[in-house]
């Protein structure tokens, strides 16, 4: 793999080199916060691990561990052990470590308060508890742990006296005794427990998800999933094996609104789109929000869950409307400003009407073209004299990563929709998410209506299977020829992930998670397909720096980055201007 030296990676490496005292050392790991900035403390720990231990051997061991089904989780746990050991070894020479460690612990608890629902879903209970135990201890906080948890926490407090052999031995011991993984024939290989013991172990060990507030990114392995994407292993409801039960459909109808397509239409869509990596997926298209009725065919648990979601969605709708009302003046001025800007940008694209079209009033002067040249555009299309030949589709990411900005996001979408309508550009606002194996498109504001109230039904929750979401949204764009320019602007965090796995090619081998490089490449393909159809796809990126590389991979240079949701309207006009002027933007 060609190593990428971004400024942030270089900074992380510098912290490691400084701690290691060795500038020739090629660190096997780099530690980042979720926002993509280097984690100073954990990079320091990596450097110290090189200084005090044979990190190559430890990395080789951890690589073996990472190959297992719970590899990421176990690796995170073992790093807690390494952290303690090198901390104690280095402390006499670097008393500052006490403060740095305390700061890390404080950041952990602060971060916990701001975790989104989606992030919470990604938490591994074991890792999270052990991190909480470690950082509570650092801060002198009391924490109630079960006997098992307390024993593991104690075992993970690797002492300073350990050398590399001792540490490897200790790690093997923990894996064997606490996770039922036993050492293989060689020193560092691990063989998962098989047979009956595995079944028992599987029953005892819950399926959990990888977590960490710090992402330890393995470098130089060539593993695609680590490139630019957080390594997140997760399984959703249904064990990642797809969806389609009547209960799931009923749940979707209850949470996102009833299906607005006829069954045949849906079947046709699924036939076209749910192929390749999306074979196990289903589609759902609805308009506005849930109807508030409780569908049949649901289990008691689902009904409880559904009622909660409906209640949350209703509350969010009220919150959105309250926010709109509260910011009515700002919204009005935003609409004035943006519509003037859009007006100015589009003034160069206006075309005189009537114009040639496939339907309308037959134009005798050019009628000969149909039989002679097979040109169907021999009719004159009548319309408003000032109608513009531009359409806009705004596709909002409705995954749980937007939990903390739902009101503002809905208000911004409202401003955009109103502004474009005022500038005589038909606009449709939709949002997409993946839930229970369904990739759902929710049309909040339809083209052809000026009513934007449906946007208030926006709420965040679920995953985002960008590749399928984009293809699905593409089916609801205006037809080619209806408009000279069709724009699809996507609000994205460029981090696609979903609980439904990618089936193995040829039906053999294990299914892969829809995440990391595989998901990014799928989304990239979807964008390329849309562009081939003549749709101008642009992205507005709101997310951590870590995913910037994904953004460029998926959307190329047709993107703008915003840091706050209130920059959305400006970003849309910038993107529009760039698309019309053919100017490429570099984030």
Binding residues for another protein (CB under 8 A): 7, 11, 14-15, 17-19, 21, 23, 40, 44, 93-96, 99-100
Q: Closest approach of Cβ 14 to another protein, in Å?
A: 5
Q: Closest approach of Cβ 17 to another protein, in Å?
A: 7
Q: At 477, give phi and psi (nearest 5°).
A: -85, 160
Nearer of residues 42 and 459 to another protein, judged by Cβ: 42
Q: Are 577 and 583 in contact (CB under 8 A)?
A: yes
Classify residue 478 as exposed, middle or buried by CB count within 10 Å of its CB (0-12, 13-18, 19+).
Answer: middle
Nearer of residues 107 and 201 to another protein, judged by Cβ: 107
Q: Closest approach of Cβ 105 to another protein, in Å?
A: 16
Q: What is the DSSP letter of 375?
A: -
Q: Are 349 and 389 in contact (CB under 8 A)?
A: yes
Nearer of residues 24 and 374 to another protein, judged by Cβ: 24
Q: Closest approach of Cβ 123 to another protein, in Å?
A: 29
* Alpha-carbon gap, residue 274 to 280, rounded angstroms: 7
Q: Closest approach of Cβ 293 to another protein, in Å?
A: 56
Q: Closest approach of Cβ 43 to another protein, in Å?
A: 9
Q: Are 409 and 458 in contact (CB under 8 A)?
A: yes
Q: Closest approach of Cβ 46 to another protein, in Å?
A: 13
Cis peptide before 354 (omega within 30 of 0): yes
Number of Cβ within a 10 Å radius of residue 280: 19
Nearer of residues 95 and 506 to another protein, judged by Cβ: 95
Q: How far is CA 288 from the centre of its chain?
A: 23
Output the DSSP codes for 524-576: HHHHHHHHHTTEEEEEEE-S-GGGHHHHHHHHTT-EEE-SSGGGHHHHHHHHH
Reduced to 3 states (helix: H, G, I; strand: E, B; else coil), residue 190 is strand
Q: Closest approach of Cβ 19 to another protein, in Å?
A: 7
* Alpha-carbon gap, residue 179 to 217, rounded angstroms: 23
Q: What is the DSSP letter of 447?
A: T
* Alpha-carbon gap, residue 541 to 548, rounded angstroms: 8
Nearer of residues 90 and 569 to another protein, judged by Cβ: 90
Q: Closest approach of Cβ 562 to another protein, in Å?
A: 22
* Alpha-carbon gap, residue 144 to 14, rounded angstroms: 38
Q: Closest approach of Cβ 7 to another protein, in Å?
A: 6
* Alpha-carbon gap, residue 120 to 400, rounded angstroms: 10
Nearer of residues 19 and 554 to another protein, judged by Cβ: 19
Nearer of residues 93 and 304 to another protein, judged by Cβ: 93
Nearer of residues 23 and 368 to another protein, judged by Cβ: 23
Q: Closest approach of Cβ 551 to another protein, in Å?
A: 22
Nearer of residues 102 and 319 to another protein, judged by Cβ: 102
Q: Report angle CA 23, 28, 29 to the nearest 5 degrees.
A: 100
Nearer of residues 44 and 181 to another protein, judged by Cβ: 44
Number of Cβ within a 10 Å radius of residue 63: 16
Q: Which helix (H) or strand (E) holds 289?
A: none
Q: Are 398 and 458 in contact (CB under 8 A)?
A: yes
Nearer of residues 96 and 450 to another protein, judged by Cβ: 96
Q: At 539, give phi and psi (nearest 5°).
A: -120, 140
Number of Cβ within a 10 Å radius of residue 132: 19
Q: Which helix (H) or strand (E) holds 248?
A: helix 246-256
Q: Closest approach of Cβ 10 to another protein, in Å?
A: 8
Nearer of residues 107 and 261 to another protein, judged by Cβ: 107
């Amino acid at each position: 793999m060609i190593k990428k030296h971004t400024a942030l990676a270089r900074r992380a490496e510098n912290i490691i080199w400084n701690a290691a005292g060795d500038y020739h050392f090629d660190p096997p790991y780099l530690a980042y916060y979720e926002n993509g900035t280097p984690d100073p403390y954990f990079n320091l720990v990596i450097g110290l691990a090189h200084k005090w231990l044979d990190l190559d051997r430890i990395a080789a061991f951890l690589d073996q561990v990472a190959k297992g089904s719970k590899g990421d989780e176990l690796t995170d746990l073992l790093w807690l052990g390494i952290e303690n050991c090198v901390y104690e070894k280095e402390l006499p020479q670097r008393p500052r470590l006490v403060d740095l460690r305390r700061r890390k612990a404080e950041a952990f608890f602060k971060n916990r308060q701001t975790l989104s629902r989606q992030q919470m879903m990604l938490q591994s209970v074991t890792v999270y508890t052990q991190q909480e135990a470690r950082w509570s201890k650092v801060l002198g906080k009391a924490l109630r742990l079960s006997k098992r948890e307390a024993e593991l926490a104690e075992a993970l407090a690797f002492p300073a006296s350990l050398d590399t052999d001792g540490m490897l031995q200790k790690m093997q011991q923990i894996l064997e005794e606490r996770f039922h993984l036993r050492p293989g024939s060689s020193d560092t290989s691990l063989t998962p427990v098989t047979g009956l013991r595995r079944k028992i172990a599987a029953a005892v060990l819950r399926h959990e998800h990888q977590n960490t507030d710090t992402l330890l990114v393995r470098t130089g392995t060539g593993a695609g999933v680590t490139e630019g994407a957080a390594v997140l292993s997760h399984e959703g409801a249904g064990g990642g094996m797809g969806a389609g039960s009547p209960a799931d459909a009923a749940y979707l109808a209850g949470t996102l609104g009833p299906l607005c397509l006829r069954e045949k239409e849906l079947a046709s869509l699924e036939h076209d789109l749910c192929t390749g990596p999306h074979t196990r997926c289903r589609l759902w298209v609805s308009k506005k929000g849930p109807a508030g009725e409780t569908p049949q065919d649901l289990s008691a648990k689902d009904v409880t869950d559904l009622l909660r979601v409906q209640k949350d969605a209703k509350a969010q709708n009220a919150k959105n409307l309250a926010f709109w009302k509260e910011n009515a003046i700002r919204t009005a001025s935003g609409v004035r400003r943006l519509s003037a800007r859009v007006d100015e940008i589009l003034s160069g694209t206006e075309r005189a009407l009537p114009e040639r079209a496939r339907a309308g009033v037959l134009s005798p002067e050019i009628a000969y073209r149909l039989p002679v040249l097979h040109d169907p555009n021999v009719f004159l299309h009548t319309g408003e004299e000032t109608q513009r030949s531009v359409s806009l589709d705004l596709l909002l990411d409705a995954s749980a990563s937007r939990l903390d900005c739902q009101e503002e996001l809905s208000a911004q979408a409202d401003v955009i929709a109103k502004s474009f309508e005022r500038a005589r550009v038909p606009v449709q606002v939709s949002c997409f998410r993946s839930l229970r194996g369904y990739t759902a498109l929710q049309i909040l504001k339809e083209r052809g209506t000026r009513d934007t109230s449906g946007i208030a039904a926006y709420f965040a929750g679920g995953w985002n299977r960008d590749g399928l979401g984009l293809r699905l949204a593409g089916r609801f764009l205006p037809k080619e020829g209806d408009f000279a320019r069709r724009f699809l602007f996507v609000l994205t965090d460029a981090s696609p992930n979903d609980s439904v796995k990618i089936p193995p090619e040829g039906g053999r081998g294990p299914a892969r998670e829809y995440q990391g490089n595989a998901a990014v490449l799928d989304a990239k393909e979807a964008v390329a397909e849309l562009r081939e159809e003549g749709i101008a796809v642009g992205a507005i990126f709101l997310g951590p720096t870590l995913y910037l590389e994904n953004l460029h991979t998926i959307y190329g240079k047709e993107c703008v980055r915003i840091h706050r949701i209130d920059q959305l309207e400006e970003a849309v006009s910038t993107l529009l201007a760039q698309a019309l002027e053919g100017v490429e933007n570099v984030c």
